[in-house]
Structure 1
């Protein structure tokens, strides 16, 4: 028996009455359409089997029975389905194939579920995949795809929990859930988020760099002529939200720079892409939802990136970037909604984007933009040190009225994690202050007894401050003082950049979901899947340590980068692969299998006590004085042995 409940839209209850089903007994197929779907009204979905002896129904009520459930449907106690189909019913597709089995006998039945652009296309798909051979061929191609994609980087370390999540699960979560489905149990949306999917694709430079290239051009096409972008949009039409959000558009140049650095494909910057036309968001509004028009104006991806940066060079009274109706933390939508609030974190982020795009601009001979960007970066850096430092850590923002957020003078949200971590990751923070700030993060936000890292503390609760909808969460839940895993990962990456492997490894161990399933008690407390990342972890009694929103979270991509890049040390620059690890002192070695196109590199990193041997870099049996692996696609296997001195913190 094969059973499907048709949705053919965004919500089943919304479109159930409009789903039109039809039974084709000759082809053993059930067709379903929803002509009222505004974007996919012409699509034809189907459920089909090759077995000619079968019965069918499109009536969910018939299949389940009165007061029936999927655990015990009435159809499983019958020998015949009615063949009922049509409209204005509770729609489904059910096909039953009766058969008898003698002892030791096997019987193979193949069902096909799919959709076509129209009826002709649906029939063509069914015809092409008839029989068992096409089914097995399709399955084999899927196995090969995932084997290659997930196998691009395979690691063998002394920590089994790291191996489990790095060798497949994180890339699978990023690609299957975040990029393809854009949907999960906790958020069934299907929309592209401008900052969201760009960050996801940035994690795939080792396995699917061509996908990041594709996304750079797609996302550039969602930029308005003024430089801002759609915060999110639904394909295929492109209806979405235009906002005063202040960081979305800056992820485009950051992602573009990462792609160009990793692949050497500078040609992508010369690809022409159209802008969008739409009315600006009114100053008194947070956003509006609409279908914008494609502008007649188009320009290169490089010019799109420049326009993003230039749009971000807007400052408040402290010389810090305006936060608008939010920066990375969407929940802080009331900090600067009057147009005067400023973001310290955004200052760090913009500084990083400016400096990365400068390198691309220099290679293109764009001297005017280089001068402008360097001047802006120095100005932002100076104003952060002048107005962003609170004494023991960096502040988070300034409200429209000039009140600081993320200050020891606040009753709530005295310290916020991301200002501290990005002071290091961006390189904008004063080295001494950044080190002090990270130590404050370590003392105030890392809760070792509960294996979590808070985003901010104390949570918003009873003070008069109104940062936005973040205050609507209970104290200790999600962004409001719980662990927001993005930020926890950034903290670990910052400690790694400081060379502090102890704190890096400690945080990684805390946030690795595999480590939350070590005992029945831990499983009961964490409650969510121990093999994919959770967006958040509760810090509120009696639910402390409980995993929140899983699967559909960008923390999967960042976790992968933390492991592969910040800890195991892989960094790719065109045809050069650097290995610069920040690993626990007790590790003696680890191994990496790295696939570059059709060529495999077997890399062994050995860590020894200083003085016991001389550090060395051996490539294919000979000493390598370049201190990096030169990547060539010669279809051969290569070996690299890297010997390092043990780092003692």
Structure 2
């Protein structure tokens, strides 16, 4: 069953049936101001933090779906009939009204045709502004003149979402509204620096800023009393629930169209007046929308592919990159799942996000990397969840706004937690992120940049990385395997005093990255020291973690191995087996067996399961994972984030057919005609898909803000298609299906444009025979002059 289609030419997903079983969302905003908006125009707007600076209100997990939102109501004054441009909240019969939604790159367009009136609402946030624009067009396609009233509407939130949800005596009595010169301002007695406004390009016939006046106390957004009665109250009040609603009555002759702009933004009354003056000029609106298009073209043009796999092209060229960029920009806590109850950066997730797209977002990736370096402790572990501004010496102390959820330890009075709250894998990801950034940009000086630790002392980036490796080298158990600490990547595998196979493999991987960097920087002593460390890690992994045909997942505090051939539950695990291969720690023979075990025990038509069989017996020594329902999230679900690890591992072994089989199973675009099963967006990777041990097998949940996005992009482009930068060359080493004749890629690297064509005349899965640059045979591809381009031919 399909609810829409991909418009690859316009880089949009077009929804033709709005009665989707779950919210299909999009993100507006390319900087710090953002909006999460659904296919029903439901959602919320925020600035910088979805927790600490919320602009509009949203009732998460509510019924009806997606309430409230950024709505536009239309009323036929002769018929006394009304509807919304988006299907919801009014919800006209789909037999009588036609709706279309176009989710694009940082914009969404809602279209409706009803009783001869065609209307459109385009939402986007201009670059350089803290305002969301609603570009509205209404056209009369009937043969008679029509009398229409237009009602734009949103509900404002208290700034701090924790207070808005839990402390009504604060949120209802510390916020007020006023109106002046067509601008509604929402102030905040609790925080006078946070004002919001809504205004319009037209002179309104009336307004309401008190929600209950416009909606009515026994009505909902479906049937607002103000629209029914065609009356506004010009209401303002100090305290209470606030909204932004306007009315504009107008007539339309046959075939006549009128345009209106609504502006919802951050700032005081004066800022609202400035914005009103600017965007009452429709040319300014059009110019700024073109800038959004230009902004994204500059990003996606850095890497474009043309392969025999149509859905792979769609995802890599547009949607996978877009989702990865959204993760880097907005982190994790602004979605319909993470609705602002937490804030700051998750250490491991942010590090991986920044690793995956330095080619399209080098500045933003570097900013994130520097924030993580400041969130590293002098001992060498990362703060699992932290507010980056608190550790940035460049931000004046008075401007640092700690989250209400970031609480210092009472005995220390510090924002720096101890080992009991430390995740063993967090900082190891950062080593690769730093190195990948330098390989992409060529910025070797970054290794020597001085950056503070969380405690305040200053060191080079290079020495930060050494502290990370040294910390993991110290935190090992009796067998020589890294301790799991509070948890590793799998937050529900709480090994406590136990040991983590995944962390040891990551330690090996990160150490390999560092050795490469040390060689490039000619740090001879460090090359020797960390090569010896890497050998020690490998010896322990191969001695302790191998179990006949696959690698175990870890060891409990009491010494019980997790994930052995003798286990009935949790027999085989994806993370340890994929990373044994991807890290390079496993021998060739064991690596191939590990991938075979993944294929035999974990693969399914919807992706690779995290573990199998699911745990069914509670065991707190293994962790909370044993108390999660079978087939959900960490317990036997198809957890998307580690799936691309298996793609990359298979590709490293030259198994192009298998890597593509795994890719296709998880690919959202390939499930566009299975929405009755998938339910979630076919343009976004989700955190997990219900596993085969669950009754809802194949149902996808938690879209957008997941590490699945970055890794899917990274594994597909750098390992399967095989184009990856190194310090001095652009490596091309594909692992593709044997039935491909080849593929093409355009790749911008260090300012040079590489037009790559890979030919596979012998239908191999891997292995490069010859490389030609501009017709000349070469041994390696070196950087070309910035602004120039070359043709690269690769013969497999």
TM-score (norm 2): 0.73
Change (3 A) 1:610 1:194: closer
The answer to whether structure 1 residue 309 and structure 2 residue 469 are counterparts is yes
The answer to whether structure 1 residue 404 and structure 2 residue 561 are counterparts is yes
Q: Show the counterpart of 1:112.
A: 263
Counterpart secondary structure, 1:56: strand
- Describe how 1:260-275 pairs up with structure 2 within 5 A: 260-275=438-453
Question: Matches of 2:468 and 2:720 in 1, distance apart?
Answer: 31
CA deviation string 1:18-53 (max 9, x = no partner): 452433331x1111233436xxx5122111113223
The answer to whether structure 1 residue 509 and structure 2 residue 687 are counterparts is no
Question: What is the CA RMSD across the aligned residues, in angstroms?
Answer: 2.4
Question: Matches of 2:575 and 2:719 in 1, distance apart?
Answer: 17
Structure 2 unmatched ranges of 5 or more: 1-150, 390-400, 407-414
Paired residue for 2:679, among 516, 527, 530? 527
Shifted more, 498-507 versus 49-58: the winner is 49-58
CA deviation string 1:532-586 (max 9, x = no partner): 1011111133211111221121101111112211111111235633322111111
The answer to whether structure 1 residue 247 and structure 2 residue 407 are counterparts is no
- Describe how 1:460-539 pairs up with structure 2 within 5 A: 460-462=615-617, 464=619, 466-518=621-673, 522-539=674-691
Counterpart secondary structure, 2:779: coil
Contact 1:156 1:590 in 2 (8 A): yes
State the Cα distance separating 1:316 from its structure 2 match: 0.7
Question: Matches of 2:180 and 2:331 in 1, distance apart?
Answer: 32
Contact 1:177 1:184 in 2 (8 A): no
Paired residue for 1:617, among 771, 789, 793? 771
State the Cα distance separating 1:268 from its structure 2 match: 1.3
State the Cα distance separating 1:69 from its structure 2 match: 2.5
Paired residue for 2:346, among 182, 193, 197? 193
Change (3 A) 1:180 1:312: same
Question: Matches of 1:479 and 1:418 in 2, distance apart?
Answer: 11
Counterpart secondary structure, 1:108: strand
Change (3 A) 1:261 1:234: same
Change (3 A) 1:546 1:359: same
Contact 1:576 1:628 in 2 (8 A): yes
Q: Show the counterpart of 2:140.
A: none
Question: Matches of 1:429 and 1:637 in 2, distance apart?
Answer: 39
Q: Show the counterpart of 2:242.
A: 91
CA deviation string 1:606-636 (max 9, x = no partner): 211279xx9553433x2231342643323x5
Question: Matches of 2:665 and 2:323 in 1, distance apart?
Answer: 19
- Describe how 1:230-629 pairs up with structure 2 within 5 A: 230-234=383-387, 236=389, 237=401, 239=403, 240=406, 242=417, 243-277=421-455, 295=456, 297-313=457-473, 314-333=475-494, 335-336=495-496, 340-447=497-604, 450-462=605-617, 464=619, 466-518=621-673, 522-539=674-691, 540-574=693-727, 576-596=729-749, 600-609=753-762, 616-620=770-774, 622-628=775-781
Change (3 A) 1:34 1:309: farther
State the Cα distance separating 1:351 from its structure 2 match: 0.8
Paired residue for 1:49, among 191, 197, 200? 200
Counterpart secondary structure, 1:48: strand
Question: Matches of 2:450 and 2:619 in 1, distance apart?
Answer: 49
Counterpart secondary structure, 2:365: helix
Q: Show the counterpart of 2:794.
A: 642
Paired residue for 1:75, among 226, 232, 245? 226
Q: Show the counterpart of 1:24.
A: 179
The answer to whether structure 1 residue 131 and structure 2 residue 291 are counterparts is no
State the Cα distance separating 1:124 from its structure 2 match: 4.8
Contact 2:773 2:781 in 1 (8 A): no
What is the aligned length?
Answer: 608
Counterpart secondary structure, 1:248: coil
- As a proportion of its length, which structure holds more helix? 1
- As a proportion of its length, which structure holds more strand? 2
